[in-house]
């Protein structure tokens, strides 16, 4: 799908090419911090699993239009890219692991045995199994008319494994890891062969899923390792890193790939993943990380998402300025340390984008 982009800043930044200014977007930019999003969700009155298409409803033009409309909401505040509105759990439904949202994700039968792992279906025909996602991407590309690039994404295998084994979100708000998620650590240490068997299946799925999104029209992709902050160096190296390498080696190299590893200090392992862009948290000194990698990879981040929620506009301005200075302009995509908090004041979100475009 060839189309001349009017704004290709993020694609040039991802390749460490010169840019007129640092591009900006935010994880969860089309979400609950936006009052228009909440208004749309209230009017639709649909469960998230239907909007994310993590369930086998017949494809509806109305559902596609709703997902497209929500994806495009951040366009009005001036971001430099649109990310497809869906969830990292979306591709698990055709594998036989259908999450419902109540309100958080719930899997009625968590995956904890070898027989359950073996029973998971492969994602061997995403054109059929994930037709809804393809339709949303194609419609977004047609609606954007080349105005902004489109970001696709997937959850990293270990992050998905945490959800599958816990049967719910592995993290409790403000309380760290959930009790159910401790089973994942027990499996990694007690039955690592089952864990690697599951990660192998999820890796094959993720490669197919990201390549499918690329075939449908996304122009850059991001891999979310959202549980990296609870992993020791040893666990990250054994259960996350080799699967990142396989994924970035297996996806279409014509499209830049971003590795987001939440508050991960293991920059050397992230760098060896093969990703074109490393999305780093507030635990990383961006200037030091760029110096250590010597311009061989781009960086994304890393304004504190807590500051965006709790800070004043003056503090946000200072944080953005400092981040852009440390990013050295070339090879830097301005973003947050993690996704937008749902209770982030929307005026702070608007200010973040507005002030980013003045430097």
Residue 319 pLDDT class (50, 70, 90 cuts): very high
Least confident of 59-68, 70-79, 233-242, 298-307: 59-68
Residue range 9-356 in CATH 3.90.1150.10? no
Q: What is the pLDDT of residues 259-316, one digit of tens each?
A: 999 999 999 999 999 999 999 999 999 999 999 999 899 999 999 999 999 999 999 9
The continuous run of DSSP H or E covering 294 comes out as none
The reported pLDDT for the residue numbered 47 is 76
Give every CB contact of residue 258 below 8 A, 6+ residues apart in sequence: 14, 220, 221, 222, 223, 275, 276, 277, 278, 279, 300, 333
Q: In which band, very low, low, confident or very high, does the pLDDT at 173 lie, cut at 50, 70 and 90? A: low
Cα separation values, 46 from 43, 53, 98, 114, Å: 9, 11, 17, 35
In angstroms, rounded to a whole number, what is the distance separating the alpha carbons of residues 187 and 244? Answer: 20
d(CA 289, CA 72): 32
Residue at token pair 């698990």: 92
pLDDT of residue 111: 96
Rounded Cα–Cα distance for residues 340 and 35 (Å): 13
Considering only residues 171 and 55, tell me which one the structure prediction assigns the higher pLDDT: 171
Q: How far apart are CA 163 and CA 314, in angstroms?
A: 38
- Residue 268, burial from CB neighbour count under 10 angstroms (0-12, 13-18, 19+): exposed
Q: What is the pLDDT of residue 172?
A: 73
Per-residue pLDDT at 185: 95
How far is Cα 41 from Cα 31, in angstroms, rounded to an integer? 10
pLDDT 10s digits, 34-53: 999 999 999 988 777 777 76
Q: What is the mean pLDDT of residues 321-346?
A: 96
Let me know: does 164 contact 111? Beta carbons within 8 Å: yes
Residue 45: predicted pLDDT: 84
3-state SS, residue 90: helix
Position 3 pLDDT exceeds 70: no
Position 57 pLDDT exceeds 70:
no
The whole-angstrom separation of Cα 299 and Cα 311 is 24
Average pLDDT of the segment spanning 51-72: 78
Q: Is the pLDDT of residue 318 over 90?
A: yes
3-class secondary-structure state, position 219: coil
The pLDDT confidence band at residue 155, using thresholds 50, 70 and 90, is very high
What does the mean pLDDT of the chain come to?
A: 94
Please give the Cα distance from 227 to 176 (Å, whole number).
10
Dist. CA 249–CA 225, nearest whole Å: 17
Residue with tokens 């009790």: 179
Coil, helix or strand at residue 279: strand
What percent of the chain clears pLDDT 90, i.e. is strictly above it? Answer: 85
Sign of the C-alpha dihedral computed for residues 141, 224, 197 and 267 taken in this order = positive
User: Residue 56 pLDDT > 80, yes or no?
Assistant: no
Cis peptide before 302 (omega within 30 of 0): yes
Element (H, E) at 202: helix 192-216
How is residue 124 written in tokens? 């061997």
Return the SS3 of 154.
strand
Taking the model in full, what pTM does it have?
Answer: 0.95
> Angle at the Cα of 149 (from 202 to 91), degrees rounded to 5?
20
Domain boundaries, the chain: 9-356
């Amino acid at each position: 799908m060839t189309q001349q982009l009017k704004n290709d800043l993020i694609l040039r930044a991802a390749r460490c090419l010169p840019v007129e200014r640092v591009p900006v977007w935010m994880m969860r930019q089309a979400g609950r911090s936006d009052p228009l999003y909440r208004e749309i969700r209230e009017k639709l009155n649909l469960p998230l699993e239907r909007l994310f298409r993590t369930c086998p409803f017949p494809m509806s033009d109305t559902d596609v239009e709703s997902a497209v409309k929500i994806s495009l909401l951040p366009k009005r505040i001036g971001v430099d890219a649109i990310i497809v509105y869906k969830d990292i759990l979306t591709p698990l439904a055709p594998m036989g692991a259908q999450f419902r949202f109540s309100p958080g994700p719930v899997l009625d039968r968590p995956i904890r045995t070898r027989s359950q792992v073996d029973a998971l279906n492969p994602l061997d025909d995403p054109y059929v199994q994930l037709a809804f996602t393809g339709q949303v991407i194609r419609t977004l590309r047609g609606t954007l008319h080349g105005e902004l690039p489109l970001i696709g994404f997937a959850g990293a295998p270990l992050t998905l494994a945490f959800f599958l084994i816990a049967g719910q979100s592995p993290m409790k708000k403000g309380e760290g890891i959930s009790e159910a998620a401790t089973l994942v650590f027990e499996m990694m240490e007690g039955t690592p062969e089952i864990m690697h068997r599951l990660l192998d299946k999820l890796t094959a799925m993720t490669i197919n899923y990201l390549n499918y999104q690329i075939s449908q029209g996304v122009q850059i992709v991001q891999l979310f390792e959202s549980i990296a902050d609870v992993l020791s160096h040893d666990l990250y190296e054994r259960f996350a890193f080799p699967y990142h390498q396989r994924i970035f080696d297996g996806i279409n190299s014509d499209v830049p790939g971003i590795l987001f590893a939440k508050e991960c200090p293991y920059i050397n392992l992230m760098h060896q993943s093969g990703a074109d862009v490393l999305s780093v948290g507030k635990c990383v000194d961006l200037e030091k990380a760029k110096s250590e990698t010597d311009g061989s990879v781009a960086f994304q981040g890393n304004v504190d998402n807590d500051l965006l929620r709790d800070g004043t506009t003056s503090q946000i301005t200072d944080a953005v300025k400092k981040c852009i200075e440390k990013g050295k302009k070339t090879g830097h995509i301005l973003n947050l340390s993690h996704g937008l908090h749902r209770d982030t004041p929307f005026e702070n979100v608007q200010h973040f984008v507005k002030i980013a475009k003045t430097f």
